[in-house]
Amino acid sequence: MHSTRAVLGLCGALALTALTATSARPMHAGIDYARYLEEKADVEAELDEWLSKYEKDAERNGWIPPTEARSADEVVEDRKQRFFMSKQLVSKLQKEQPDAQFSVDSPFSLMTEEEFATYVRNSYLQGNKTSLQEFATYVRNSYLQGNKTSLRGGDSVWDEAPTSDNGVNESGESTDAYDGGNAGFDISSFMKNLDFQSFKKFFEDCLSKFKGGRRLQQGVDWSSHRCNAPIQNQGGCGSCWAFAAVGAAESAYCLGNGGQLTKFSEQQLTSCDRSSHGCSGGYPTYALRYIQQTGLCRGDQYPYTSGNGNAGQCNAGCQKTRIPIRQVARPSGESGLLSALQKQPVVVAVAAGNSVWKQYRGGVVSSCPNANLDHAVIAVGFDGSSVKIKNSWGTRWGEQGYIRLSRSGGGGTCGVYRDMTYPQIADEVVEDRKQRFFMSKQLVSKLQKEQPDAQFSVDSPFSLMTEDEFATYVRNSYLQGKMRSLRGGDSVWDEPLADDTAEDSVHDMEPPLEERRAQQNVDWSSHKCNAPIQNQGSCGSCWAFAAVGVTEFAYCTNKGGQLTKFSEQQLTSCDRSSHGCGGGFPRRALNYIGQTGICSQSEYPYTSGKGGDGQCNASCKKTPIAIRQVARPSGESGLLSALQTQPVIVTVSAGNSVWKQYRGGVVSSCPSAKLDHAVIAVGFDGSSVKIKNSWGARWGEQGYIRLSRAGGSGTCGVYRDMSYPQL
């Protein structure tokens, strides 16, 4: 027995010796192994810190390459040696480029230089090398013959169009020609009466309120502009070409769309653009032309899922936004890039699969060790010494996702001037906007003559909408009683009209109005129980804003004047008796609040401004609202009596020119009688009723409008359908 233990002990010792001998060896060529052994304790501590920060993302994205080691100990040893080699590299780079900062605090510090080069390689394709070499030759020949060719799956693609005389490549497919066909546009009057310079200045001054352009004579920096989306992360997929093309397209579209940023989908290009190779690389110019012809889905509708390296199946059914790209411009040299950057960000190709980009942490890079263009990024600015680049490797790389390259001649640092492109938004879009704006000027002039007690102006968020478009924007956000199918396949309900009395719920019965001595003036707009003006955005949720507004006021006064801002999003997403952004009925919303309670806005904030209802969050903490009944005043006297105690929901005819261009004063009439919008009456005086809207504080009188007191159904139908909660 003793001899057996001795043998086992000897075997264990030999195995441990063999393992130690195996682990204690250089595992990578080029390592200063003697120095590594001296610094091993420090390396272990620094590696542990690196792993605590990067390990999860690095393993998911393939930034920790698999080792050929045969045991867990060898894996650990391999990582230590890799990390030490990156430390060696950082020391070397720092001596060579003192104006830049390099660090092992990089997602790629467990990659060798060769592995990093392989990771980057081929995600950007120039169309004349690697797997696209034969394709490019064939496409070019086919293009000269006037034919199209095909790439993945046999779908149609386009090659680069010939360069025009001014050095700009025209796009393969032109956008539809603008026909000047805005109904009601008086072109002869436009040309006859146009003082172009004053009109141009007026147009730009007005537009600047909704678009914050930033232009510097000695430098430009789009990185903090509202039209620059946050830094993205392509992960383990060679989709830099898609991120660069989408980033440039969404910035250009935002700048041409009044400064409203829409985050578009890189996944759509990665999965659906048949002129490129998904996670195996692609060409930004082809991608921009795909965008021009096909349009782009929003990022929240088609989120990025290819970080694991799989391009995924194409979802062709997502709703696409047309991006009016007139042509894909190709600037040349440093001067061309700087000139283009005065207007917008630019896609550039760089040599990035090298030690400089691998360990970059900050400062200005002066050179790269190779000239092979292998990565597509976005130039977002410049100053006297550098060009600022937006990368797609996440915010923990570089300067929070950015890198600065020194300005130089020739092909530029890291080849940044060698291949550049950006989308130019169609000229007809600009012309269309000028004509739309002029039509609103015509409308303002007409309205001002008809209603001298009110003020109308093009200084309105809706001045680039036609009257029909504005009517469509407003239409159906307030629903009167009609048979409708409810969301989610629920049974239909028949909502009675305002003069109906038969209703199962006592909450919908009009109580007798109290006899009281009426004040001559009431204004709740400055009361502490009146919440600030809200903005429903592109969602037909006025019914929710109106119901929440009167509820929070009544609850506030009932609780001694302590205002709680309640959640419009809860109603928009959760009230199944209405249709979310497709419209709703305020009295049903009040019934929902009385039965369910309501969450605070801070706990359930509004997110439907872009038109999506959103998923219902039923778990938010609800405040019970003890609504005794929903009162329904009748006529002017009923409204004025109710306003003595609290604000009242009223419905109005708002989808018309008067509300579109209203700026101030008292409105005497509306051109239509269709009730299409729910708002809140917050006061009155001897001549008008004061209305609180939900279109933001830049509309009207800081979000309010005054309607003249009139008989019958009231100005803009304001007396036709009214309600308020009695607690």
Catalytic residues: 240, 375, 391
**Alpha-carbon gap, residue 451 to 666, rounded angstroms:** 8
What are the Cα distances from residue 650, in Å, to 2, 447, 510, 586, 725? 98, 24, 15, 9, 13
Among 330, 376, 380, 331, which Cα is nearest to 352's? 376
**Alpha-carbon gap, residue 573 to 611, rounded angstroms:** 11
DSSP states along 466-490 = -HHHHHHHHTTSB--S--BPPGGGP
- Tell me the torsion sign for CA atoms 569, 570, 572, 574: positive
| Residues in CB range of 52: below 8 A, 6 or more apart | none
Pairing of strands 704-708, 662-667: parallel
What are the Cα distances from residue 65, in Å, to 109, 374, 639, 645? 11, 20, 73, 71
**Alpha-carbon gap, residue 274 to 185, rounded angstroms:** 41
Which helix (H) or strand (E) segment holds residue 346: the answer is: strand 346-350
Which helix (H) or strand (E) segment holds residue 84: the answer is: helix 72-96
Q: Cβ of 671: how many Cβ atoms within 10 Å?
A: 12
Amino acid letter, 341: L
Coil, helix or strand at residue 683: strand
Contact 401, 378 (CB under 8 A): no
- Tell me the torsion sign for CA atoms 553, 558, 563, 566: negative
